[in-house]
Amino acid sequence: MIYLDHNATTPIDPRVLEAMLPYLKSFYGNASGLYRLGRLSRSAIDTARHQVAELVGATASQVIFTSGGTEANNLALASLEPQAGLAVSAIEHPSILEPAERLRQQGHPLSLIDVDQNGLICQEALDAIIRTQKTTAVSIMLANNETGVIQDIARLTEQLRAHGIALHTDAVQAAGKIPVDFNSLGVRLMSLSSHKLYGPKGAGALIFEKGARLSPLLLGGGQEQGYRAGTENVAAIVGFGKAAELAKSELAQRGEYLAGLKTQLEDGLRSIPGLSIFAEDAPRLPNTVQFGLPNSDGEMLLMRLDQQGVAVSSGSACASGGKEPSHVLTAMGIAPALAQSTLRISLGTTNTPDQITQFIEQLKILVCQEG
Ligand SMILES: Cc1ncc(COP(=O)(O)O)c(C=O)c1O
């Protein structure tokens, strides 16, 4: 199989699995237990907390483990206290858009921040948010899961902070693919997810600025500084920690390798007549390419590729299956017909140049058959 959907999820790195196994087999103690078995789990969680903190240049006490990126995003929005109003970018993941909509229904004014045709935040839209003085909290993702477009969060935070507006960034797709430094970004809160960086599913984290207070979603235990009750998923947290450690130490090497594959992929794609790569001129993740093929059906291509043993996405994983054009592409002003004819390729460290060659060949055959 040729797996080209790493933004949906990544396989577990064998070294991560190795680190997790003892906590699934033998060290099953509740981390709140005061006896040795409990203390072993506690200490493993502490190590993982340091590893995750180091990946993003934070300290261990700033890390709250969650069940994943979705929970971290929900916790972030609950914690931003948007009494006077919340603004989120139009291209956020549903785990931001839906809790934001709920906050709106509960009476907190909500604005959507527009992006330009390259998927970058419109400066005028941000200026308007600041000018109207109706917003106290903003959420803008660091890198988009569909297009891979990277926002200049440090610059945006500088502008927002000057007006007392707090920012959360969803760094789920960025962490492990590009350098992410919590302090340089200047945000109050940041979300991470383990299974996007070769760790297990079911673990994530919210990183918070020192002194910030969170509004827990889960109550009933003092775990995670009282911000996230529930017996810890020790093996998953250990796996997340190991994955974060590896992502940090191998970041440059992975980035270089993926960028090489991406160049090969894009050169191949450009040889297909009519194909357009979205946000081609914007800064993008080294592993993500989303493109449109006029007069093709993205879902159909996805299924045909699947029959050939190639796994790709026709948009974000959560959106595929639905027939609505992607909200990200719609926000970028891509016409609905072209937005329905898209595929997203997200590369991973185990992909090879040979796999890219095979994928391009298969895609060309399918496009010819369609045409
Ligand atoms: C940008 C972004 N944020 C959040 C999430 C949710 O993360 P998780 O799957 O860990 O809940 C995803 C997953 O696709 C994502 O791409």
Q: Are 87 and 140 in contact (CB under 8 A)?
A: no
Domain 2-10+251-370 maps to which CATH number in 3.90.1150.10, 1.10.357.10, 3.30.70.3460, 3.40.50.410? 3.90.1150.10
- Please tell me the distance between residue 132's alpha carbon and the centre of ligand 1 in angstroms: 31
Judge whether 318 counts as a catalytic residue: yes
Does CATH place domain 14-249 in 3.40.640.10?
yes
Tens of each residue's pLDDT in the chain, 371 residues? 999 999 999 999 999 999 999 999 999 999 999 999 999 999 999 999 999 999 999 999 999 999 999 999 999 999 997 667 999 999 999 999 999 999 999 999 999 999 999 999 999 999 999 998 889 999 999 999 999 999 999 999 999 999 999 999 999 999 999 999 999 999 999 999 999 999 999 999 999 999 999 999 999 999 999 999 999 999 999 999 999 999 999 999 999 999 999 999 999 999 999 999 999 999 999 999 999 999 899 999 999 999 999 999 996 444 455 568 899 999 999 999 999 999 999 999 999 999 999 999 999 999 988 76
Common-topology check for domains 2-10+251-370 and 14-249? no
- Please tell me the distance between residue 26's alpha carbon and the centre of ligand 1 in angstroms: 31
Tokens encoding 231: 């017996």
Question: Which residue among the candidates 2, 272, 318, 367 is catalytic per the annotation?
Answer: 318
By the 10 Å C-beta count (0-12 exposed, 13-18 middle, 19+ buried), 83 is classed as exposed
Question: β-strands 189-193, 204-208: how paired?
Answer: antiparallel
**Cα(199)–Cα(241) distance, integer angstroms:** 8
Query: In a mutational test of the pocket of ligand 1, which residue from 66, 196, 198, 288 has the highest number of ligand atoms less than 8 Å from its CB?
Result: 196
Tokens encoding 152: 């200049």
Structural domain spans, the chain: 2-10+251-370, 14-249
- Please tell me the distance between residue 203's alpha carbon and the centre of ligand 1 in angstroms: 11
